[in-house]
Chains A and B, each alone.
Chain A
Amino acid sequence: MRQILHEIRRALLAKTTILIIIVIILIPALVVATSISSVNYANSVKAEGYAEGQNLTFTISVYVYSGTYGTPTFGETVNLSVANHNYLLTTDVAGYANVTLQSYNASEIGNSSYTYDQVPGDSSTSLQGRITILKPEENPYFLISRSFYGQNGTLYTSRYGINRVPINNEPRIYGILVTYQPSNLSSFPNISMYYITDKSGIPVVEGIRYNVCESGITYINNFSSQQGGYNYNESEMKYFGTFKSHESMVITPVNLTVNTNTSDYIFEFFSSNGTEVGWIALNLTRTTSPDVVNSLFFTSELPMLSLFVPLLAMLSAFFVFGRDRVTGVLSTVIVRPISRRSVILSRYLASVGAVFVASLASLGLSSILFHYLLGTYIPLSSILLSLWALSVMICGFSGLIFFASSIMNSIGKIIATVMLAFFFLDFFWTFYALPAIPIFVSTYLLNQSYGTLEYLRTQAILDYITPSGYTNLITYLQQHNVSTFVLASYPVSEIYLTLPLVLAAGLLWILLPLLASLISFSRHD
C-alpha cells in the first residue's frame, strides 16, 4: 500500500500532471466568465418629453434612455406629432431628440405627443408620451410642483428621479439610476450621496418616493427620519460621494458590499446646502435565479468540460503510464518491490485522481464565480450529477489509454489511439447537435425522423455508448429535455433516461476499461 501511495504521490507531482490540472481548472473558469457576459436583461427603454418656450416659439426635447442600464440612446428615431403634423427626430449622443418649432401655440404644444418604436416598424414595441410644457424656474434642485401649484402656496418637486437598475457588466449587483430634469438651467448642480445600512433587519424592497419639501428645507442634522417604514438617524449616515448632475447617470455602489454581508442600504441625495432631494432603499445584491445559472452551466460550461476533460484525461494517462512504459522508464519502477498490478493501479489512480480533483476544483471554482458574478451558486444536484458524468468520462477515456498502452509498444500508436478516441468517441460522436455535418458519426446513426420517440431513444443510446455522452445524459435529466432542439414529451423511462440506468451504465464505463488494463498489464507484456 505504501508503495502505491508513493507512486501516486510521484505521478501527481509530475509537471505534466500539474499542467493538466491547471488547464482543467482554468478553462471552465474562462468559459464561466464568458458565458456570464451573455446574461442579458431586457433592455427596456424609457423616454421623457418636454417643451420650453413661450408665445409661438417652443423648444421640444424628447430624452430617450436605457431603462435597464441608464445609458442614453444615440441615433434613435422619435416621431413627434404636433397638431396633426409629424416630425421625425433623431437622438443625439446625450440621448436627446431636439427640435425648435414656431407657429404653434401653447395649447397645441401641450397636446402634442411623441412615439418611439423600440423595434423600428413594430408598433407593439412603441413608447408613447405627452409633451409637458415646463414652467420657467430657477431652483436647480426642485421644480414647482405641477400637482400642487396654485393650491395653498408653492410646493416643489425634486428634479431628480431615482431608480434601481442592473449594472452593465456587473450582473451581480444593482446600481442607482439618477435622472435629472435640467429644464431652464444652463449648468448642472452638484449633489452628494449619503448612505446607511438597514439596521432594522427588514428586507429592503425596491421603492422610491419623491421627497416633497416645503421650500426645500430638510437639513442633515440630528434628525430622525422615517422613510418607507424604516427608522434611522440621518446623522449616522456615511458620505459616499459627490456627483455632478446630468440628465442621466448611474452610480455603482459596488464597493459597499466588499468585505461585508450587508446588502440592504438606504441612500439619500442632498444638495450643496444640505437639502434632501431624494432617497432610495436598495438591495445591492441581485441574485440570478438558480434556473438561469443551471441553464448557463449546462449549456456553456459542461459541454466545454465534456470536450476538454476526455482529451486531458487521455493525455494524462499517456504521460503517466503510456509514455513511461514505451520508453522503458516504467521498467525502473517495475523492478522495485511492487507488483505489476500495483504499478498500473497506482498510476491509474494518480492520473484519474488528478483529473478528477481538477474537475472538482473547476466545478467549485465555477460555482464560486457564478455566485460572485450572478449571486447564485450552481445547484448542488447539478454539481453532483456533473461529477458523476465527469467521472465516467475521466475513468472511461483514461482506462482506454491505459489499456492501449498496456498492449502497444510504440508512442506513435498510443498517440494515434488518443486522437482516434478523442475524435470518434468525443468530438465527432457527441456533437450530434450538428446533424447537417456528415462527418459526425452520430449523423449516420440518427436516421430516424427528427424528434420522434425512436429518434430520442437512439440519441440516448448513442450517449450511453461513449463516456462523453454522460454529460448529455445528465443534462437531459436536469434540464428535462433532450438535445438543444427537441423537447422531450415522453416519459424518461421510454427513452431510457432514468437516473438508475444512467448511474449503472456509467459504472460499467468506469470499471471495464480499468479491469481490462489490469488484466492485460498483469498477465502480458
Chain B
Amino acid sequence: MIIIEELKKKYNRQSKFAVDGISFSVNNGEILGLVGLNGAGKTTTINVSCGVILPSGGRILIDDVDIVAEKSKASREIGWVSEFPNFEPNTKAIHLMLYFSGFYKIPRKEAFIRSMDLLRTVGLEEDAYRPASAYSQGMKKRLALASALISGPRNLLLDEILNGLDPSGINLIRKLMLEWKKQGKAILLSTHLLGILENLADRVVIMHHGKIIKTLANEEMKSLGSTGIRIRVDHVDKSLEVILSKYGNVRIDGQNVTITNISDEQDMENISSDISANGYRISHLDLEKTSLEDYFLNLIGEVP
C-alpha cells in the first residue's frame, strides 16, 4: 500500500513546486492511474514515492514505512520502472539482474533462476547475455520491469511503462498488471495512453501543474460525459444549426456537424428524421461517446 500525504517537491529555490501538496493512496490490489500533461508532476510524484529523489515536504508511506526516514526498509517492497530506464554501459542484462539481486540478499543460484524466469516473462530470455545499453527503448523498459520484480515487491510504481512498447508489449504489461492486482499488489501507473486506463485502472488521479484536480473511480470513467452524434450533410446553413441546437451542443466544421451532450437517447433517432424532413441530405452519420481523454482535456481547459 502506498500512502502519499501532502507531498511537495521543488527542485531548487527559484523554481515552482513540481508537486504541490498532493495526497492520495494506492491500496493493495488496486491499480491507480496517474494522468496529466507533460510537467504535471507525474514523474516527480513517482520518483519521490520510490525514494529516488527526496521530497521537499509531506510524507510517503510504503506499507506504513516512511520512505525517507526508513529508506532501506521501505525500499524492500518497491518495484520501480523509470520513464527512461538507463543501465550501466557494457553490462549484460543477466549480470545486471544478478547485481540487483544482491541488494535483497537472494542467494546467487536462486537469483540466477529467478532472473532468467523474469527475463523470460518479459520476453528478453534470448537477449539475457546482451549488453543492456544495446537494447531498444522498449527492451530497456522490459528489462527495467524485470529488475523491478526481482524481489517480488508488493508495491509497483510504473512511470510511463507503456511508452515505447509495441502492441504485444502493451498487451503483455496489461495482462501482468491484472495478474499483480489479483496478487494484491498496489500499482501506481502513470501513462499518456488514457484509453487503456479506462479498462484497467481502478481509479485515475488527474494532475495539473503539480496539483490533483480530479480523482475518478472506474465507474465514473465508464459513465463519463454524454453520447454524441456526428453527421455530414450536403449543405450547412444557419437554419440547420437552429434545428439541431434543440438536441444538444452543435459544432460545425465545413459539412461536418457534431452534436454533443444529447440528453435523451430517443433524440438520437429524431435527429436524422428531423434533418431529412427539413430538406437536408445526410451522407454520413455515426455515434460517438466522450472518452476519458476528452474528459481530461475538457477538465484542464484544452478542448479538442
Binding site for B on A (CB under 8 A): 2-3, 6, 10, 14-15, 324, 327-329, 331-340, 342, 523-525
Contact = CB atoms under 8 A, between A and B. Distances in A.
Contact of B52 (A14, A334, A524): A334
A324 B76 CA distance: 22
28 contacts: A3-B72, A3-B103, A6-B103, A10-B99, A10-B102, A14-B88, A328-B82, A328-B85, A329-B88, A331-B52, A331-B82, A332-B86, A332-B87, A333-B103, A334-B52, A335-B50, A335-B51, A335-B52, A337-B71, A337-B75, A337-B103, A337-B104, A338-B75, A340-B54, A340-B71, A523-B54, A524-B54, A525-B11
Interface string B3-24: 0000000010000000000000
Interface of B: 11, 47, 50-54, 71-73, 75-76, 78, 80, 82, 84-88, 90, 99-100, 102-105, 144, 147
A327 B105 contact: no
Contacts of A329: 86-88
A6 B47 CA distance: 24
Given A327-B86, A340-B71, A525-B54, A335 B104 contact: no
Contact of B51 (A14, A15, A328, A334): A334
Nearest to B75: A337
A15 B95 CA distance: 14
B82 to A, nearest CB: 6
A336 B102 CA distance: 10
Contacts of A523: 54
Nearest to B76: A337
Given A328-B82, A331-B52, A525-B54, A337 B11 contact: no
B85 A332 contact: yes
A10 B103 CA distance: 11
B103 A336 contact: yes
A522 to B, nearest CB: 9
Contact of B88 (A3, A324, A336, A524): A324
B54 A2 contact: no
B201 to A, nearest CB: 23
Q: Which 4 A-B pairs have the closest CB atoms?
A: A336-B103, A6-B102, A337-B75, A328-B86
Nearest to B78: A335
A43 B72 CA distance: 70
A357 B82 CA distance: 36
Contacts of B71: 337-340
A345 to B, nearest CB: 13
A3 B101 CA distance: 10
Secondary structure type dominating chain A contacts: helix
A520 B104 CA distance: 26
B75 A335 contact: yes
A332 B100 contact: yes
A331 B82 CA distance: 9
Contacts of B76: 337
A524 B11 CA distance: 9
Given A3-B103, A6-B102, A339 B86 contact: no
B118 to A, nearest CB: 15
Contacts of B88: 14, 324, 329
Contacts of A328: 82, 84-86
Nearest to A331: B52
Given A324-B88, A525-B11, A336 B52 contact: no
Contact of A337 (B54, B73, B90): B73
Contacts of A3: 72, 102-103
B53 A525 contact: yes
Given A328-B82, A336-B100, 11 more contacts: A3-B102, A328-B84, A328-B86, A334-B51, A334-B52, A336-B75, A337-B72, A337-B76, A337-B103, A337-B104, A525-B53
Contacts of A324: 88
Contacts of A15: 90
A356 B281 CA distance: 87
A332 B147 contact: yes
Contacts of A337: 71-73, 75-76, 103-104
A340 to B, nearest CB: 7
Contacts of A342: 72
Contacts of A336: 75, 100, 103-104
A342 B76 CA distance: 15
A523 B103 CA distance: 22
A334 B53 CA distance: 9
A96 B20 CA distance: 97
